[in-house]
A and B are shown apart, each in its own frame.
Chain A
Amino acid sequence: MKTLRLGIFILIALAQLSVPAIMAWGRVQTLGHGRVWKFKTAPVDPEDAVRGRFVMLRFDAEDAYRQPEQLKSIDSVYAILKEGPDGFAVVDHLSSSPNPGDSALKVEPGGFWDGQQRIVFPFRYFWLTEKNAPAAETAYRENSKRGQQNAFVTVRVRNGDSALEQLYIDNQPLADYLRAQTTAKK
């Protein structure tokens, strides 16, 4: 009886450990081997930008894509990306299969109104650390408003999987930008 109980315990322990492990492993692979895409962030409503410990992200490429066909009864579809003239990613078309793998971003169908179907990217938040949150909030607001769109994120894409890599403000990773700002103030 005791052996059986221990056996079951080992199975449960493996299950509980494997879920976060698989989550991390998938991201490590995508971040290590995926193709880098740059997405320009869209202007944000300053009231809505930072919610506690994360920045709410919106993207130009997400807002710009519209199609007349409604996406019904599906949970997700692949947005096939291409690089725009300014080096930032844009959605070329939607596809049901992740081909080619390093350009296929899994997206959700968004709202359908005015005869147009919207899409929603799978990354909506950029998690912040407690120390950075207030400064990051100001920085993102300042650099993500109309007339001054100076923020973008890098995303790694591999086999249809995507991993948010870094938030850049004024061409510097967020942490570096904040450090530079602090030094400049001193």
Chain B
Amino acid sequence: MPGTINRRAVRWLRGQLPELVAAGVISSDNAASIERHYGTAEPRSNFGFVILATVGAALVGAGIILLIAHNWDDLSRPMRTMIAFIPLLVALLLVGFVLMQRNESRPWREAVAIFDFAAVATSISLISQTYQIQGSFGEFMRVWLLLCLPIIYLLRASVGAGFYLIGTIVWLFSREFGAFVRSPNPMFYWFLILLIVPYLLFRFFENRAGRETAALAIITTISLVFGLGFTADFAKSDLGAIAFAGLFTTIYLSGIKFFPQPNDRLHVIALLGGVGIGITAIVLSFESSWHMGREFLWGDRTLAANVAFAFELLLPIAAMGLAVFGLLRRHFQFSLSAAAFPIVTAIAWGIANLCDTGASTPTNPLSIFPHWVGTRCSFTAGALMNCYALWLGIDILARGIRSNSVARANFGLLLIAVLALSRFFDSELSFVTRGLGFIVVGAGFLVANILMFKKRRTAVPA
């Protein structure tokens, strides 16, 4: 699988070949064969140039905006309208030129795509200013993203796709400004994401091991986290915990399934999912995370809110589907503790919700969420999540030791340490107990790392 070859390692190996031949370790024929073998595996990388060209295009675009907007007091409206179209016309001419003459040059495609993005924004803004057209920033973002999307496909512009994905996050936040309702409908976000999915798939199937695909997957993941956050807030169903557990587990399992790595290594997407699972588990280990808003029954539920609710359920189902699929094939690489996260969260949610609202945990009037009340079982739910986070930490630690990964083992330890730390400040333990706890966790770090390094040292001579 040439896609999984580590380019840095290939470069190192190539550097070693003359020495190896000189030392008589391999023959010059062997060296030539090795060169030939890797010859096709290392395409000339011009990613840096692509980025520079894109930044250049963005700066030129911004400069044009400033120049035009600087001083046009004395121009009539029709004149200003004509000027507003100039950047867009130039950008479109460049797109045409790239399609006809430079279609195989990636820096050209990426740079012109970004220039076109900037030109669309400039034209819309200048026309809005000239004719005093009002409208929210959210509406502007939406129109802008939709107009720029086809250029991403036409020019196969991954940097453009990255900008688009960041744009979806900006759109999510922009809706909150100037809105008169709390948590306005964010469901259009999912439509925007759906529109970019074919491009992401195209990149994935073209080169799943490429840096470009990984970068796009990272930005998509970040965007999805924000998207789900706003959706959960909008759905008013108290299901946020399960939805996030589902999202991070889906990301983790997808990272392992769709981006397989040699030697038990983790792809950055699986890593992101794993870190997300760890952080969410720690957050949910606080008893206050299980104070339920009971907002579901508030007022009339709109169709959009119900769709958002269904969406929240879809993610844990997707995660379970991936986990079951892996388990049925009996050859799975993922951590069972991580895959079980949505189920454990769902059980904790059930425990917290099935109990009545308890008088034992009165509403705190000073809280920023005064209507969020604890149930009789909030503590039980929190305790369950504590046990789960501990299991997860130990499992990651064990897997780290087994696969000889210092980073993974330390992440497991970190999880246990943060969990311990949270409980120390959360509960009313004496200073002696807290001190002892810190010593135990610290000693755990030391022992595990010593074991790991010893194991590595013994493994090297072998």
Q: Are A and B associated in one complex?
A: yes
B211 to chain A, nearest CB (A): 26
CA distance A132 to B129 in the complex (A): 14
Q: How large, as a class, is the contact surface on chain B?
A: 35 or more
CA distance A163 to B302 in the complex (A): 33
Asked whether, in the complex, the Cβ of B180 is within 8 Å of the Cβ of A108, the reply is: yes
Among B47-55, B80-88, B329-337, B421-429, the one that faces the other chain is B80-88
Question: Which residue in chain A gives the minimum CB-CB distance to B124?
Answer: A20
User: For residues 116 through 130 of chain B, which have their beta carbon under 8 Å from a beta carbon of chain A?
Assistant: 116, 120, 123-124, 126-130
Q: Which residues of A contact B88 (CB under 8 A)?
A: 16-17, 20
Q: Per DSSP, are chain B's interface residues mostly helix, strand or loop, or mixed?
A: helix
User: For residues 120 through 166 of chain A, which have their beta carbon under 8 Å from a beta carbon of chain B?
Assistant: 120, 122-127, 129-132, 163-165
Asked whether, in the complex, the Cβ of B134 is within 8 Å of the Cβ of A123, the reply is: yes
Asked whether, in the complex, the Cβ of B73 is within 8 Å of the Cβ of A131, the reply is: yes
Q: Convert A35-71 into 0s and 1s, putting 1 for each residue whose CB lies closer than 8 angstroms to a CB of B.
A: 0000000000000000000000000000000000000
Q: Convert B59-73 into 0s and 1s, putting 1 for each residue whose CB lies closer than 8 angstroms to a CB of A.
A: 000000000011111
Asked whether, in the complex, the Cβ of A130 is within 8 Å of the Cβ of B131, the reply is: no
Known: A12-B154, A17-B88. A123 touches B127 (CB 8 A): no
CA distance A129 to B69 in the complex (A): 8
Q: Convert A1-25 into 0s and 1s, putting 1 for each residue whose CB lies closer than 8 angstroms to a CB of B.
A: 0100110110111011101110110
CA distance A9 to B133 in the complex (A): 28
CA distance A16 to B129 in the complex (A): 18
Asked whether, in the complex, the Cβ of A23 is within 8 Å of the Cβ of B134, the reply is: no
Q: Which residues of B contact A (CB under 8 A)?
A: 69-73, 81, 84-85, 88-89, 92, 95-96, 99-100, 116, 120, 123-124, 126-134, 143, 147, 150-151, 154, 180, 300, 302
Q: Which residues of B contact A111 (CB under 8 A)?
A: 180
Number of A-B contacts (CB under 8 A): 90
Q: Which residue of A11, A125, A132 has the most chain B CB atoms within 10 A of its CB atom?
A: A125
- Listed A/B pairs (7) with beta-carbon separation below 8 Å: A5-B99, A16-B116, A24-B127, A27-B131, A127-B128, A129-B71, A132-B73
Known: A20-B123, A131-B71, A175-B73. A9 touches B134 (CB 8 A): no
CA distance A20 to B130 in the complex (A): 11
Q: Which residues of A contact B126 (CB under 8 A)?
A: 20
Q: Which residues of A contact B134 (CB under 8 A)?
A: 122-125, 164
CA distance A46 to B81 in the complex (A): 32
Q: Any chain B CB within 8 A of the CB of A73?
A: yes
Contact check: which of B100, B127, B300 meets A23 at CB < 8 Å? Answer: B127
Known: A12-B151, A20-B84, A20-B123. A129 touches B99 (CB 8 A): no
Q: Which residues of B contact A110 (CB under 8 A)?
A: 180
